[in-house]
Amino acid sequence: MKSYIHIYKETRDRIMRGDLKPGTKLPSHRNICEDYAVSIPTVTKAINRLKREGLVSSIRGLGTMVADAPHSGGLVGTKTVVFVSFFPNFIHEVSSYALQEVFQGTDWRINARCTHSNLDWYRDYLIECREYPPAGMIWLPMSPYIYDHTEEMLPHPATKVVMISHEIPGRKYDLVRANGFADGFSLAEFLVDKGYDRDFIFLTEAPVKEMENSKFLQGLQKGFADRRIAFGLGQVRRFDNPHSYGFNNDPIIDGYNYTRELLKKERPRVIIAGHDWNTVSAYRAVRDAGLDVPGDIAVVSCETTVNLNAVTATPKLTALDTMFYYRARTAAEILKRRLEGDDSPVTYYETQSRIREGETT
């Protein structure tokens, strides 16, 4: 059975080649179902995506037709900005809202693509942006330490690109990211001021090479060192996290299982988790081990975008709020200037996170 992506791409390609002229009526949904051996909802999903990209339009009683002046889904020279993010839906929605605010009232269309941590979708969206290049692109990628972005996945040279959070090795794009060193330093100061002065561990699924180059860990180490507390890579605890990717992903289970086993061998006073889902994993493992949070073990997130207690039934986490809304808004403002003709040198922008004290310290 063909997927909606297959129907969408074939129809789109026919429009782009001129095989389907403006005003041409597409076959009925039922006929498309028979041609591709798919269900009505699958066809509807493909047609709706073509509509969102301005390639077709539907008129009640007349059916679906190729648009009079179809967009290319974002070809160079059109008024399309694509936002691609690898992260889960709630981060995508926060960022998309910021983009819509910046481009509201302009002629630019925002085409937001959330991959929901699905590697196949992520790859397909990026290849599509390469084949049908948008005028502008805001890209919130997977870490290049985790994922190798091949040439076919990189943006077309004519596309104006602004990255959020990560750089792509060998490529020069405008970049908006948190000030990792400052964030680590301020979190170390916060923890010591709260009375925690020993037995810290850092819990993460990040690869060793990423940890060795982590500005956040360097800032954390410096912040503790200024208070005469030893902290370094020896305090890092790393686990593999294969269940976070693909359909029906589970961003909690691997960190949870690792922490449960860890607590059988050592008893840290503070667990600093790499991001919010790691923190939820650690919190649940500590509680299920019969320990109190924060009485026995404090649990802190070094990156969060939302209070996950509303989603995961945990207490409000103590965390560094990495202000994804402001990062996305800054990225959108930079891209808008680029699209309006700003050709100044590529620049890196850093935003400052803030500590949101919750119930886990």
* pLDDT tens for each residue of 143-158: 898 889 999 999 999 8
Mean pLDDT, the chain, rounded, equals: 88
| pLDDT attached to residue 19 | 86
pTM of the model: 0.78
- Residue 73 pLDDT exceeds 60: no
How many other CB atoms are there within 10 angstroms of residue 346's CB atom? 12
Query: Coil, strand, or helix at residue 188?
Result: helix
Q: Residues near 22 by Cβ (< 8 Å), separated by ≥ 6?
A: 66, 67, 68, 69, 70
- Residue 321 · residue 296 · CB < 8 Å: no
| pLDDT attached to residue 71 | 47
| pLDDT attached to residue 247 | 67
User: How much is the CA Rg of the chain, to the nearest whole Å?
Assistant: 23
Strand order in the sheet with 348-351: 109-114, 80-85, 136-140, 160-164, 174-178, 348-351
Mean pLDDT of 284-302: 96
| pLDDT attached to residue 74 | 47
Q: In degrees, to the nearest 5, what angle opens at C-alpha 152 toward C-alphas 151 and 153?
A: 90
Q: Which long-range contacts (CB under 8 A, 24 or more apart) does 32-41 make?
A: 32/7, 36/2, 36/6, 36/7, 37/1, 37/2, 38/1, 38/2, 38/4, 38/7
Out of 68-72, 128-132, 208-212, least confident range: 68-72
Residue 259 vs residue 119, higher pLDDT: 259
- Residue 55 · residue 70 · CB < 8 Å: yes
Q: How far apart are CA 133 and CA 127, in angstroms?
A: 9
Domain 80-178+324-352 matches domain 180-321 at the CATH topology level: yes
Map out the domains of the chain as residue ranges: 4-66, 80-178+324-352, 180-321
Band (133; pLDDT cuts 50, 70, 90): confident
Q: How far apart are CA 106 and CA 81, in angstroms?
A: 12
- Residue 310 pLDDT exceeds 70: no
- Residue 311 pLDDT exceeds 70: no
Residue 90 vs residue 177, higher pLDDT: 177
Share of the chain above pLDDT 70, in %: 93
Residue 74 vs residue 213, higher pLDDT: 213
DSSP 76-134: TTSSEEEEEE-S-HHHHHHHHHHHHHHHTTSSPEEEEEE-TT-HHHHHHHHHHHHHS--
Q: Residues near 292 by Cβ (< 8 Å), separated by ≥ 6?
A: none
| pLDDT attached to residue 309 | 64
| pLDDT attached to residue 120 | 84
Residue whose structure tokens are 């330490």: 145
Instruction: Output the CATH code of domain 4-66.
Output: 1.10.10.10
Residue 70 vs residue 18, higher pLDDT: 18
Q: How far apart are CA 136 and CA 75, in angstroms?
A: 10
Q: Is domain 80-178+324-352 classified as CATH 3.40.50.2300?
A: yes
For the segment(s) 180-321, the CATH number from 1.10.1240.10, 3.40.50.2300, 3.30.530.20, 3.40.640.10 is: 3.40.50.2300
- Residue 13 pLDDT exceeds 90: no
Band (76; pLDDT cuts 50, 70, 90): very low
Residue whose structure tokens are 């794009």: 173
As a whole number of angstroms, the longest Cα–Cα distance in the chain is 76
